[in-house]
Amino acid sequence: MTDRTYRVTDIVGTSQQSVDAAIKNGIKRASQTLRNLDWFEITEVRGHLVDGEIDHYQVGMKVGFRLEDAD
């Protein structure tokens, strides 16, 4: 097994439902364009308020994925 290298990208997932849904939405979108996703780490949880209520959640995440070998 060769020594792997990973790249880490920062994304912000959002949801009108919950923190958990915002995490899942962000990961789902990331998996549409990145292969070999390996881990995520939450870096911040924020939200937008409208009329005194939570309009949507914003969850910042680092997402790590394995780089394939360049030929």
We find the least distance from the C-beta atom of residue 14 to a second copy, in angstroms, to be 5
CA distances from 45 to 4, 15, 68 (A): 30, 11, 31
We find the least distance from the C-beta atom of residue 18 to a second copy, in angstroms, to be 5
Site of tokens 């360049």: 70
**SS3 label, residue 63:** strand
Interface characters, 4-43, with a second copy (x: CB under 8 A): xxxxxxxxxxxxx-xxxxxxxxxxxxxxxx---xxxxxx-
Q: Which residues pair with 60 in a beta bridge?
A: 12, 44
We find the least distance from the C-beta atom of residue 41 to a second copy, in angstroms, to be 4
Can you give the binding site for a second copy, defined by CB under 8 A? Answer: 3-16, 18-33, 37-42, 44-49, 52-54, 56, 60, 62-64, 67, 70
